[in-house]
Structure 1
Amino acid sequence: MKITDIAFIGLGVMGYPMAGHLSNHGLRTKVFNRTLEKATHWHNQYQGEICQSPKAAAQDSDVVFLCVGNDDDVRSVVYGDFGVLAGMKSGATLVDHTTTSAELATELAAACANYGVNFIDAPVSGGQAGAENGTLTVMCGGEQTVFDALIPILNCYSKQVSLVGTHGQGQRCKMVNQICIAGVLKGLSEGLALAQKSNLDIAQVTEVLKHGAAGSWQMENRAVTMSQGQFDFGFAIDWMHKDLMICMNEAKKLGLYLPLIKDVDNSYVELRKQGFGRLDTSALFKSYSQTA
């Protein structure tokens, strides 16, 4: 089936540009956002139709994309008289780009099957910049044939699209991603704290180290700004806290204890109490440096 009509539910910092890329690639695009003002702004920038409910957006769409906040937000736009499942046609596909629990992914897969609808859990990595530049990494869980049909569409805003397993495995892969980011940020924060106290030139240190074994995306893109107290780069502490809670809950079910992310999350909790929840995740450095 050729995909021509799509719906996008959720026009936040990620969903807004992602839906824009789909529209720019010539797909007939319908959007829904809880805040009408944001949907109107999107409509003024891109070609597409504003809908008054998730159901209305989903009607006659070949693929419906979700990119909202958390498990409860997903359920609120999927189920009920005005949810997407009430409007989706048989054979259509629901793609959830929200970072959620793996349990929700398997739940949604079963619910979609009851409506004759396909489902793919497809959390993304790359942040606001990746969404805007169309360079996201998408990690998917679901059936191979459904995934294969979606690849050209997902490529509209991605540089890497992979099927990592059955329903729920996309979300578990995203958990691994968030755990690794948390570890890198913790190490980078502590290293920068020592560098500052030692009166090292942070830009020079970054230039030296980024070519060696300590190099990382976070070091190359965030070390200098962290040292300058700049923390306005999209993905917020509030959302990372949500994601790390998902990681810890999953680890508990698997009989694992992950002390590093517990420690990082404790730091984020303290920063949230200080009113820093909307700063981006590199603000972890504030836990280590009084000058940040």
Structure 2
Amino acid sequence: MSTRSYDPIKPQKVAFLGLGVMGYPMAGHLKRAGHDVVVYNRTAAKASQWVGEYGGASDSTPEAAAKGADIVFACVGNDDDLRAVTVGERGAFGGMKEGAIFVDHTTASAEVARELSAEAKSRGLQFIDAPVSGGNLGAINGALTVMCGGDAKAFATIQPVAMAFSKAVTLLGESGSGQLAKMVNQICIAGLVQGLAEAIAFGQKAGLDMKVVLGVIGKGAAQSWQMDNRGPTMIEGKFDFGFAVDWMRKDLGLVLDEAKRNGARLPVTALVDQFYADVQAQGGQRWDTSSLIKRLT
């Protein structure tokens, strides 16, 4: 559990929709920072558990949870889930007051971000697409990186509130820009993890003590977050934590679809996506993304 301190800001009335491995601690940080938080989760028992742990309140629909909120945060599974909690039956947009801001932390398509931003505007609301990087540990420790797209004035309102669970909250452009930046992030990670997996597998075949080797090269130009945090667990063959292969394949699917639209060439990303399909076929759907090494050993 995080022991982080929070910068004092004026408490806001907020809602949080989606209490998965990311949303649950993110909503908790908002409550601990002093905000008035109402939560919604598709499985009501999870919402009751959250209220028991953090206080606040829960509601049975996104619409009810969003009623009267200044800011509505969401972190759900995919485009369809996002549409369901915003414009679906009893969706949040139907309960939000005029001028309220919806902040979407789902890793979704840039297309749905633009679609929902336009729909929000037509209803007198604001929409910020704000996917995150940092994984479950980043959410627990309140140290996520948040990449945002949308209106600058609305962003300025939500930024200090979102800092409750973040180390950086940055506006990158108009609607969809946050999702596009998250795609850049996932492209980088896919290549890094595959390179690290190949390096460790090579070193092991060569008979090297790879813990010692990583300790040495981790002080030089090869150093990365993945090497520091996933290299040792790769060596130990531990993958029952972190960002799941299923989730990474969903994200890379979004990347490859966007690349078809904008003409970007992503040969390595497409290849690594297929390597993750191999890991899924090995039963590794919920293994950490570092399990790419399982194909090589």
TM-score, with length taken from structure 2: 0.95
**CA distance in 2 between partners of 1:105 and 1:227 (Å):** 39
Q: How many angstroms apart in 1 are the aligned matches of 2:193 and 2:163?
A: 28
Q: 1:12-57: CA deviations, max 9, x gaps?
A: 0000000000000111100011112211211111021111000010
Cα contact 2:68–2:97 (8 A) shared by 1: yes
Alignment match, 1:212: 220
Percent identity between the aligned chains?
53
Contact 2:17–2:72 at 8 Å: present in 1 too? yes
Match of 1:237 among 240, 245, 268: 245
Q: Assess if the C-alpha contact under 8 Å between 1:13 and 1:234 holds in 2.
A: no
For 1:131 and 1:87, locate their aligned partners in 2 and report how far apart those are by CA, in whole Å: 27
Q: Which among 157, 160, 172 is matched to residue 168 of structure 2?
A: 160
CA contact 1:3–1:63 (8 Å) conserved in 2: no
Does 143-152 or 97-106 show the bigger shift? 143-152
Counterpart contact for 2:211–2:235, Cα < 8 Å: no
Deviations 1:187-206 (A, max 9, x none): 00000000111121121111
Query: How many aligned positions are there?
Result: 288
Question: 1 CA distance for matches of 2:57 and 2:160?
Answer: 22
Q: Distance in 2 between matches of 1:164 and 1:142?
A: 8
Q: Which residue of 1 aligns with 2:96?
A: 88
Q: Show the 5 A alignment for 1:121-140.
A: 121-140=129-148
Report the aligned-residue RMSD: 0.9
Deviation at 1:80, TM superposition (A): 2.8
* TM-fit CA distance, 1:233: 2.2
Structure 2 residue corresponding to 1:171, chosen from 172, 179, 194? 179
Q: What does residue 185 of structure 1 align with?
A: 193
1:97 partner amino acid? H
**Which structure 2 residue ranges, 5 or more long, are not aligned?**
1-9
AA matched with 2:124: G
2:37 aligned partner: 29
Helix, strand or coil for the counterpart of 2:164? coil
Counterpart in the other structure of 2:84? 76
Alignment partners' CA distance in 1, 2:146 and 2:234: 27
1:288 alignment partner AA: L
3-state SS in 2 of match to 1:22: helix
The structural deviation recorded for 1:265 is 0.7
TM-aligned CA deviation for residue 62 of structure 1:
0.5
Counterpart in 2 of 1:60? Answer: 68
Kept after mapping to 1: 8 A contact 2:11/2:34: no
The separation in 2 between residues aligned to 1:93 and 1:47, in whole angstroms, is 23
Give the counterpart of 1:273 among 281, 284, 289: 281
CA distance in 2, matches of 1:19, 1:177: 24
Distance 2:179 2:111 in 1: 9
2:196/2:231 contact within 8 Å kept: yes
Question: Match for 1:245: what amino acid?
Answer: G
Match of 1:18 among 23, 26, 29: 26
Q: Distance in 1 between matches of 2:210 and 2:142?
A: 30
Shift in Å, 1:3:
5.5
Letter in 1 for 2:273: D
Aligned residue among 6, 13, 18 for 1:5 = 13
1:148 aligns with 2:152: no
Gaps of 5+ in 1: none
Question: Match of 1:285?
Answer: 293
